[in-house]
Structure 1
Amino acid sequence: MLYNLQVLRALAALMVVFVHIGAIEHLHADRMFRFGHTGVDIFFLISGFVMVHSIWKKPVTAGNFVANRITRIVPLYWALTMGIFAVALLFGYPLMQASLPTWPEFWKSLLFIPFLRPDGNVQPIFFLGWTLNMEMAFYALFAACVAFGKGSLDRTIWPCVTVIVTIAVLGAVLQPADVALKFYSSPIILQFALGMVMALAYARGMVIPAGASWVLLFVSAAFMAIYPHLRIGFHNAWLLPATGAFVGSVISLERHGWAIQNKFILLLGAASYALYLFHPFATAAADRVSAKVGNFAALPVAILFAVPVAVILAILIHWAFERPVGNLLRRLTHNAPSVVDRQESAVLAGEASEEKVSG
């Protein structure tokens, strides 16, 4: 498997955690942790890469691809959405949003349909689900391209990339007022396309030289750190070279023998989806805990509380819910796990050698 890609998943999720630590009002740390906003861009780029990587050596049908994505994404997100809605319904107390959710918002959230909330945000009941709305639309497009490509990487990838780029360009030029059109044409979708192209290049044996990889790694990381503080138009499109260089250099370094294989970090990468979804509960608790100490100690207390709690919670949810439910659904539907999922499970269980799961 690509060990460093798992590390990037863990890193991207932790970056988002720091964004929401910075959002704690009394800490006044928003500017300090703005670098974390690029974590979502990295997630989307990795999604594009992994989708191609998952069909590279073993082509799958569109149906198998969709089933694997639903098994991976839907159970945990639906459980969380239903829990948040149940609390609001039973106790009249909204979680994760300013107003009480309605039944239409509930169904739209479950069906990954974007809508405008009363607070002016295009977000589902669980606010972080906006990224999943984009992910599911991308999966649907990619599945259609898999069916069209009939086992050919080029016939699968290039039509998908062309559609994504066309949508992003039209969105930038036409500036649609419709909520769904504006949402789906955001320039951040270009990260999906970039990830797919990078995966194709990787499959063709293209890697960045080791020396250049180290340079690109540090330069791109520095740019991503300062980018949120810059006033640059066409948001996210300017991040493409940086995220591409960052992820590309990390993946290339693995080909040159620089792979991080620490089991805990790999486990955190596997649990990155749970970390992404459930960390707001840890940061919300950190808000209350840090408010009880002096201003000088509030920020370190918030970090030292939120990060470990979020990580432990994510790992527990991954082992107790995500993995068993995913395995159960695959058995019930007679659907084999994707190549990436099998490699991930094998490495974490220590059941396969590096040679057997590489690539």
Structure 2
Amino acid sequence: MEPLSPVPANRYAELDLLRFLASLAVVLLHFTYSMPRVAHIGPTFPVLGGIFRYGYLAVDLFFMISGFVVVKSARPKALPQFAVARITRLYPAYWLSCGLTFVGLHVVGSGAASWRQLLFNLTMLQEFFGQPHLNGVYWSLTYELTFCFLVALLIAGRLWRLHFPVLLGWLAYTLVAGPLPPAHLFSYLFIPKHSAYFIAGMLFYVLQSRRHAAWQVHLALFAALALALRSDRAERQLAQQFYHDAPLNGVLTAGLIVLFFLVLYCILVRQWRLPAHPVWGWLGSLTYPLYLLHGTGAAVLGPLAGRLNSYLLLGGALALVLLLAGAAHALVERPLSRRLGPWLAQLLATARLRYI
């Protein structure tokens, strides 16, 4: 594990902590509920599973944070800089996850993936080509990548002055389209199933930047919240059909979504701050590899179920995936990003000169 380093002044320690907690919620959702119930891997946790089955909302919190962070980081960048920053952020840990998942599927022998599937997955564009995900958690990266493409259009079209009207248009589309699954071009492009969360994050940036009347942005945020609640109703219906379990508590999920909005408002607008400490940045660095690699916990949850105390086994699986996430960040993600960034920048610069 790398030593803790000072947190950059422009980094939100509170968002790092939120992202880590959201990633941990997804891990616990899978370890205590999805894996035992769907994949029949590991021991069952009736109480914890009943609590962490609500961890699916953590992905929506990720989307809200991305809406703010990606736009804030993109605002001063040219398109090539933005592309390099996003590629170096998203791909190194993802490539590692693809490789480990591919090997793991062949070792287990059940549902082994083909080389063709691996190659499509390495692009992160597999869903657009109708190819299955190697790993179930990759579905959210399709939405993240689509969102980055939309932000790239803002940069390329020099539309930052129209940022707020564009968001209002996206809200209107989300209202009319409804929380549809991706089935056609516009649904893939504007992701109405989860767009309310991305829009909310972007609206927090607009509110923070004070480029528009605060009352207008607040009204748009309330509209985004209403659409997020509508999307969650559809999400709960899909979850019930998938798990064949008791319905999720709509009042509780609505309360959690409202809490997400309030917490981000307090952090980004009211400037609530955690005491400065490098540990927040370190937790934030674990978030993405933890999300991508936590499926490896099945390697201990499955074989050792029934041989060890269930809660001891759960703690061991959590420790394993946290250590793996730290090692992946320190040994793969960080060094590869540092090498990939300059190489991509040089490649784009060469291509630009060639076509001028």
| 1:269 matches 2:284 | yes
CA contact (8 A) 1:7 1:265 kept: yes
**In the TM superposition, what are the counterparts of 1:211-222 in structure 2 within 5 Å?**
none
CA distance in 1, matches of 2:257, 2:52: 20
Pick aligned residue for 1:32 from 51, 66, 90: 51
Structure 2 counterpart SS, 1:4: helix
Is the alpha carbon distance of 1:163 and 1:108 closer, same or farther for their aligned partners in structure 2, counting shifts above 3 Å?
Answer: farther
CA contact (8 A) 2:105 2:112 kept: yes
Aligned twin of 1:245: 262
Aligned twin of 2:112: 100
Long gaps (5+) in structure 1: 209-222, 336-359
Aligned twin of 2:162: 155
Pick aligned residue for 1:315 from 303, 326, 346: 326
CA contact (8 A) 1:21 1:302 kept: no
Aligned twin of 1:41: 60
Aligned twin of 1:196: 202
Displacement of 1:276 in angstroms is 0.8
Pick aligned residue for 1:7 from 11, 17, 35: 17
Pick aligned residue for 1:327 from 338, 344, 355: 338
CA distance in 1, matches of 2:170, 2:139: 18
Displacement of 1:240 in angstroms is 5.1
Deviation by residue 1:119-172 (Cα, 9 ceiling, x = unmatched)? xxx95112111111111111011101112236x3x424542x346435533442
CA contact (8 A) 2:93 2:329 kept: no
Is the alpha carbon distance of 1:242 and 1:306 closer, same or farther for their aligned partners in structure 2, counting shifts above 3 Å?
Answer: same
**In the TM superposition, what are the counterparts of 1:222-241 in structure 2 within 5 Å?**
230=248, 232=250, 241=258
Is the alpha carbon distance of 1:240 and 1:205 closer, same or farther for their aligned partners in structure 2, counting shifts above 3 Å?
Answer: farther
Displacement of 1:180 in angstroms is 6.9
CA distance in 2, matches of 1:241, 1:19: 20
CA distance in 1, matches of 2:53, 2:72: 30
CA distance in 2, matches of 1:14, 1:266: 16
Is the alpha carbon distance of 1:148 and 1:48 closer, same or farther for their aligned partners in structure 2, counting shifts above 3 Å?
Answer: same
Displacement of 1:104 in angstroms is 4.6
CA distance in 2, matches of 1:176, 1:272: 26
CA distance in 2, matches of 1:11, 1:291: 28
Deviation by residue 1:55-107 (Cα, 9 ceiling, x = unmatched)? 44xx1112211121011111221232134335556x5724xxxx233455334
CA distance in 2, matches of 1:194, 1:64: 24
**In the TM superposition, what are the counterparts of 1:70-219 in structure 2 within 5 Å?**
70-86=87-103, 88=105, 93-94=109-110, 99-111=111-123, 112-114=125-127, 124-149=133-158, 152=160, 154-156=161-163, 158-159=165-166, 161-162=167-168, 164-172=170-178, 175=180, 178=183, 185-204=191-210
Write the letter of the residue equivalent to 1:53.
K
TM (normalized to structure 2)?
0.71
Displacement of 1:32 in angstroms is 2.4
**In the TM superposition, what are the counterparts of 1:270-289 in structure 2 within 5 Å?**
270-289=285-304
Is the alpha carbon distance of 1:196 and 1:237 closer, same or farther for their aligned partners in structure 2, counting shifts above 3 Å?
Answer: farther
Displacement of 1:282 in angstroms is 2.3
CA contact (8 A) 2:60 2:194 kept: yes
Is the alpha carbon distance of 1:53 and 1:237 closer, same or farther for their aligned partners in structure 2, counting shifts above 3 Å?
Answer: farther
Is the alpha carbon distance of 1:141 and 1:116 closer, same or farther for their aligned partners in structure 2, counting shifts above 3 Å?
Answer: closer
Displacement of 1:38 in angstroms is 1.4
CA distance in 2, matches of 1:317, 1:50: 23
CA contact (8 A) 1:109 1:125 kept: yes
Is the alpha carbon distance of 1:330 and 1:231 closer, same or farther for their aligned partners in structure 2, counting shifts above 3 Å?
Answer: same
Is the alpha carbon distance of 1:86 and 1:230 closer, same or farther for their aligned partners in structure 2, counting shifts above 3 Å?
Answer: closer
Is the alpha carbon distance of 1:301 and 1:71 closer, same or farther for their aligned partners in structure 2, counting shifts above 3 Å?
Answer: same
Aligned twin of 2:221: none
Structure 1 counterpart SS, 2:51: coil
CA contact (8 A) 2:67 2:202 kept: yes
Structure 2 counterpart SS, 1:149: coil
Displacement of 1:181 in angstroms is 6.2
Write the letter of the residue equivalent to 1:64.
Q
Structure 2 counterpart SS, 1:27: coil
Identity %: 23
C-alpha RMSD of matched pairs (Å):
3.5
Pick aligned residue for 1:69 from 82, 86, 104: 86
CA distance in 2, matches of 1:143, 1:249: 28
Displacement of 1:245 in angstroms is 1.5
